[in-house]
Structure 1
Amino acid sequence: MPTPRPLTASVITVCFAPGEDADWFAASEKVNDLLHANGTPARRYQVRHRRLIGWLTRFLGYYLLDAARRFGAVTMAAGGRKGRLDLTGTAATASHYAALRWRAWNTHIAATTRPARPFEDYLAQHHADPTKVSVAEARRRFEQQPRVLAMLALSFDPYELSVYQAGEATYVGLHWRIALIGDALITTDGRLLAPATESVADRFRFLNEACAYVRGLRSSARLCAVAIA
């Protein structure tokens, strides 16, 4: 696998095997060892409540890391035992809001502007001849396109243009995976999984691999989401 790109302003999911020390300090050490970065807990996961005793587990923070409460009930956490995290609910919520964003983009941007070339195309021009096309020039050429200008005006992320233009299913599929995994994943045996490049295709390859890895973990394994800058 190619060397992963440097990670900045990212969320890293750290995995722990059942029985392994899995507190916030242990997660921070793993991130620091592999990425030489410090971070803070990222409350990304919804919390699962058992049906039969949900009224009780709703107020208990056992097997959770950095849990958040609303009216006393535990609602979100930065991590914890896989069996206590509502990964399906987390993905469903991310899918819902991603679909709303894409439909708004489709109504207000796609319906009123012509398709545009993604930033990756202009960045490729820079890599092909850095003396002729600087990064700043590549960015200028990208952002002067009418569709990109419209996205900037309406607060859509123009650097997600290629995903928006790929359709609703692709856009939603990317964002529910990001909600579960973030930008990189550290396995229980200390391996770092991350996209080989910043291309959308490589992000999907990484996210598919990481989601399959998390799916295969036992319910007693633990996860922790760490935000680094």
Structure 2
Amino acid sequence: MPTPTGYADLVVTVCFAPGDDADWFAASEKVNDLLEANGTPARRYRVRHRRLIGWLTRFIGYYLLDAARRFGAITVAAGGRKSRLDLTGTAATAAHDATLRWRAWNTHIAARTLPARPWEDFLAQHHAAPATVTVAEARRRFEQQPRVLAMLAHHFDPYELSVYQAGEATYAGLHWRAALIGDALITTDGRLLTPAGDSVADRFRFLNEACAYVRSLHRRARLCAVAIA
């Protein structure tokens, strides 16, 4: 979620048209050109295995980037041809995990604390008067709220507070989209798509646009997820 950390801990999805050079070096070059940052492969995508010859595709890494194996079988990859990536499975897994997190938060945090103001409100205070409300002061004001303190104590990300408070479906919906896209997307023609602002609404608008773009890509297009640390 939005934090004043620049490009730290972001994932960028790089898209390649069918027939383009789509190896790790090409993805890194695009990220460096547009974001002036370096990254590493992010193994985010589940891999699809064809029903008829699934036993064979489980062990062959063709059209995949930085694939990982478990007991010899390919399980996840940082990217590859769209037709080889199980985007539906990737989204479903992220939604399932997010739902479990939200329900735990609802039981241990929401049921025992009053609603709190999200980080975006305090970040807006900083932007409005940076000399008076420094980033450190904005963070202090945010984290002194009882609900935020409880989230920190129970290892829930407090910077996701606004999404948690928006409900289970909203929280899961954000995370399955983010699992597919990350924090930014580079199109096949070199455009950089990012959220227009720090709000959750801006993030949803970006993710909806990016997901629609990925759905529109040809099955032979390629994706590569790059983590900027």
Please give the TM-score of this superposition, normalised by the length of structure 2: 0.96
Give the Cα–Cα distance (whole angstroms) in 2 for the partners of residues 123 and 74 of structure 1. 42
Give the Cα–Cα distance (whole angstroms) in 2 for the partners of residues 127 and 228 of structure 1. 25
Give the Cα–Cα distance (whole angstroms) in 1 for the partners of residues 161 and 197 of structure 2. 17
Work out the percentage of aligned pairs sharing the same amino acid: 84
Give the Cα–Cα distance (whole angstroms) in 2 for the partners of residues 159 and 55 of structure 1. 42
- Inter-CA distance 142–28: structure 2 relative to 1 (3 Å threshold): same
Counterparts of residues 46-57 of structure 1 (less than 5 Å) = 46-57=46-57
* Deviation readout 1:175-211 (Å, 9 max, x if unpaired): 0011000000000000000111121111101100000
Q: Where does residue 223 of structure 2 map in the other structure? A: 223
Q: Where does residue 149 of structure 1 map in the other structure? A: 149
Q: Where does residue 124 of structure 2 map in the other structure? A: 124
* Deviation readout 1:133-158 (Å, 9 max, x if unpaired): 22212111111111000000000000
Moved over 3 A (4+): none
Give the Cα–Cα distance (whole angstroms) in 1 for the partners of residues 205 and 168 of structure 2. 18
- CA positional deviation for 1:51: 0.4
Q: Where does residue 185 of structure 1 map in the other structure? A: 185
Give the Cα–Cα distance (whole angstroms) in 2 for the partners of residues 179 and 137 of structure 1. 32
Residue segments in structure 2 that go unaligned for 5+ positions in a row: none
Report the AA paired with residue 224 of structure 1. Answer: C
Report the AA paired with residue 163 of structure 1. Answer: V
- CA positional deviation for 1:36: 0.9
Give the Cα–Cα distance (whole angstroms) in 2 for the partners of residues 33 and 132 of structure 1. 35
Q: What SS does the aligned partner of 1:21 have?
A: coil
Give the Cα–Cα distance (whole angstroms) in 2 for the partners of residues 187 and 78 of structure 1. 17
Counterparts of residues 1-229 of structure 1 (less than 5 Å) = 6-229=6-229
Give the Cα–Cα distance (whole angstroms) in 2 for the partners of residues 18 and 96 of structure 1. 32
Give the Cα–Cα distance (whole angstroms) in 1 for the partners of residues 134 and 26 of structure 2. 41
* Deviation readout 1:63-87 (Å, 9 max, x if unpaired): 0000000011010000000000000
How many residues are paired up? 225
Residue segments in structure 1 that go unaligned for 5+ positions in a row: none
- CA positional deviation for 1:6: 4.9
Give the Cα–Cα distance (whole angstroms) in 2 for the partners of residues 75 and 175 of structure 1. 20
